[in-house]
Chain A
Amino acid sequence: MVHFTRRKFIQKTSAVAAGAAAAGPMIWVKDAHAQWNNTVEKGATLRVLRWKRFVQGDEDTYLANAKKFEEKFGVKVRVDSESWEDVRPKAAVAANVGSGPDIILSTNDDANLYPDKLVDVTDLANYLGKKYGGWYPVCEQYLKPDGKKWIGIPLGAAGNCIVYRDSQVKAAGFATFPKTNDEFLKLMKALKEKNTPGGFALGHATGDQSWSFWLVWSHGGRMVDEQNKVVINSPATIKALEYAKELYGTFVPGTLSWLDPNNNKAFLDGQVSVTANGISIYYAAKNSADPKVKEMAADIQHANFPIGPAGVPTEMNLFFNQMIFKYSKYPKAAKEFIRFMMEEEQYGPWMQASIGYTCQPLVAYEKNPIWTVDPKHTPYRNATKVMRPIGFSGKMGYASAGAMADFIMLDMVAEAASGQKTPAEAAARAQQRAERYYKV
């Protein structure tokens, strides 16, 4: 047995390091202190399928980072992008037929649909988690389903905040945006009285339906319990729906038909004072060629959703994951690619280029200057931190994906809010519809 003293160890390791450095730029030397060991397969090439950018800067920087990876590791990378809603079926088919892109960047609970088809990335998740201050809870809820093994690496989330007209909220008698549901309802009523109403999408809006989850969750309602038993028809849900009915009374007319773009259009036209959205409304105003709209940018403010009787933040945002498929011939290269893209040198500039559309999954990136360069960005910083997964509080999988795609939560809120059904009827119907997915 060889005994190393501290001095001997340092001498030996620095000699190895010096030798390695002399032999050329070898990544393992640099990474030795961060416990990351990986050797990319010889002759590896990678295909990456990702969701289509929301802002140009995202795509430009992502591709530039991929190019950097190519140059550094000699691995050819091809990046394709599709609309985020189309990635889901494509990824599922790839998983099923065992052929397709090596890495897929997808959304929400996709990884939970075929966990056995994905490469175990626990080592990489642990490495990144340790290096960058840990992952937010929702990351584990989505991608570490059994509490032990990571089936994907989180990329972040597209934040959804309250977007409001500061001057109109102030005119309604509120110096700051309300932090509780009760105050929020008071504000919405006051805005309606001042003839500057707010509005939230109640049509089949895929992205903008998330506020309906907040509404139910904030009152303590939830689709399923921890055992995936459907419990949506509960007194808490009915309370939430009664609240929704009162809230709906303050909305601008027509919200039952709103799809994803409607609230953006109405807000930018000055017809709505409060809505829920990504940072896109602010950017559309800021970059508008119309001086009137540009002027509006100064009056736009953002806030996190109010907190209801549940007593904790209950937001739902669009979660992004990165999955490596087992059929990939180059899983090590794929892991290396994801690691490289998640490192500060690449991820930091990418976040900045994404101008606040994508919120980090790792705590350390909270310090990214994008959140403070403009104080209006700051509320979006918490998107991943405070969010819940779509299948809260059960397990993610086909049932949670199906229930969301079928707009069960949103339809329930819309039915009760508009008075088409009583809150009790709407909750009972949602229970029945959800039970079809969560097969009782």
Chain B
Amino acid sequence: MHAAVKEIEIPRATGLSLLARLNNNTMALGILFMLPAAIILLLFLTYPLGLGVWLGLTDTKIGRGGEFIGLENYRSLFNDSVFWLSVRTTIFYTAVASFFKFFLGLWLAVLLNQNIRFKSFMRAILLLPWIVPTTLSAIAFWWIYDSQFSIISWALVKMGLIDKYIDFLGDGWNARFSVIAANVWRGIPFVAISLLAGLQTISPSLYEAATIDGATPWQRFRFITYPLLTPIIAIVMTFSVLFTFTDFQLIYVITRGGPVNYTHLMATLSFQRAIPGGQLAEGAAIAFAMVPFLVGAILVSFFGLQRRKWQQGGKD
């Protein structure tokens, strides 16, 4: 083997054209091929993020450049009760919506993984809330929750269950749960379809073996489905949490952050202050304040993905 290698004549780099030399250099080629992606990332990700961070440290307003003011915006936000209200609402919104999206999505995925009639049709239908543009579904929900025209209130009144219309969006907590419900409705398909894809990678022979051993459906789920699905769950839930945490459209269309800022998420508050309010720097600071939460969510996911024990459903 060694002798054979020795016999091969290795072409000498000298005397070859630059292109040919480049072609032979894997390191250079690697860098070259990565360059477009790197440029795109730098231009469209690093630069805006960096600019956002910088803006948050200045007193820039729309239409007027700013000066570096250090952490003044953050200090001011620290004493701003509306900002803290939006932080609490965002965490609550994300936690509750993600919880429901996960369990309902998983349930749907397991259901759709069974041999049911019109399986393909059902799967296509499931995707509908995800396909409809968010703004359109938000407008539909805005009507559903309307204080005068709500179909839910109307139906309940007609059935004689309530005697006056529910104030879905006029009461702080009602409004929060209403927008969470809309978010769950919209987010379930993403979770369900992704988990369904994960379910289909699980070999049926495992289930057959378990069935022969007398495992109950719950045991099959607990000891086969769940452990093998964990890596997918980690990725899907990371994305779901990120999408929910940064949600904007649903809130902006349905409540605009009202009533009295009860449904303001950090994203909507950031927009309201930065664009209509012209306080670009403060808006940027609010947006940047979301980063630690998002990084936290990503780290949890990576941590989960790296842990074999977690993947196998065990504990540390």
Contacts and interface: CB of A to CB of B under 8 A. Distances in A.
Given A253-B165, A257-B170, A437-B279, 12 more contacts: A202-B259, A205-B256, A255-B170, A257-B255, A398-B279, A401-B277, A401-B278, A402-B273, A406-B272, A407-B258, A418-B260, A420-B172
B147 A411 contact: no
A85 interface: yes
Contacts of A113: 61-64, 278
Nearest to A267: B148
A252 B149 CA distance: 13
Contacts of A12: none
Interface residues of A, number: 45
A411 B63 contact: no
Interface in A310-325: none
Given A92-B63, A93-B63, A262-B146, A405 B272 contact: yes
Contacts of B64: 92, 96, 113-114, 398
Interface string A386-411: 00000000000010011001110001
A90 to B, nearest CB: 10
Interface centre among A117, A205, A259, A432 (most CB of B within 10 A): A259
Contacts of B165: 253-254
17 contacts: A88-B62, A91-B63, A96-B64, A113-B61, A113-B63, A117-B63, A203-B170, A204-B258, A252-B147, A253-B167, A256-B258, A265-B146, A265-B148, A405-B273, A405-B277, A436-B76, A437-B279
B65 interface: yes
| Chain A interface helix/strand/loop/mixed | helix
Interface residues of B, number: 37
Interface in A65-87: 85
Interface in B242-299: 255-261, 272-273, 275-279
A204 to B, nearest CB: 4
Interface of B is mostly: loop
Contacts of A114: 63-64
Contact of B276 (A88, A91, A95, A437): A88
A52 interface: no
B170 A253 contact: yes
Contacts of B273: 402, 405-406
A253 B276 CA distance: 29
B171 interface: yes
Nearest to B76: A436
A269 interface: yes
B169 to A, nearest CB: 3
B259 A256 contact: yes
B278 A402 contact: yes
Given A93-B63, A96-B63, A256 B260 contact: yes
Nearest to B169: A257
Nearest to A257: B169
Given A411-B261, A415-B260, A429 B167 contact: no
B164 interface: yes
A394 to B, nearest CB: 16
B170 A96 contact: no
Given A93-B63, A253-B167, A262 B278 contact: no
Given A203-B255, A271-B148, A436-B76, A256 B170 contact: yes
B102 interface: no
B62 A96 contact: yes
Contacts of B164: 253
A253 B147 contact: yes
Interface in B153-195: 164-165, 167-172, 175
Contacts of B275: 88-89
Contacts of B172: 420
B62 A254 contact: no
A257 B259 contact: yes
A224 B273 CA distance: 20
Contacts of A415: 260
Contacts of B256: 203-206, 259
B171 to A, nearest CB: 7
A167 B108 CA distance: 55
A432 B167 CA distance: 29
Nearest to B60: A96
A114 B63 CA distance: 7
A295 to B, nearest CB: 20
B80 interface: yes
Given A254-B167, A436-B76, A429 B276 contact: no
A255 B170 CA distance: 7
Contacts of B279: 398, 402, 437
B120 interface: no
A77 B240 CA distance: 48
A420 B260 contact: yes
Contacts of B257: 204
B147 A92 contact: no
A150 B175 CA distance: 45
B277 A269 contact: no
B82 interface: yes
A258 interface: yes
Contacts of A262: 146-148
Contacts of A88: 62, 275-276, 278
A229 interface: no
B277 A406 contact: yes
B205 interface: no
Contacts of A259: 255-256, 258
B259 A269 contact: no
A95 B82 CA distance: 30
Contacts of A266: 148
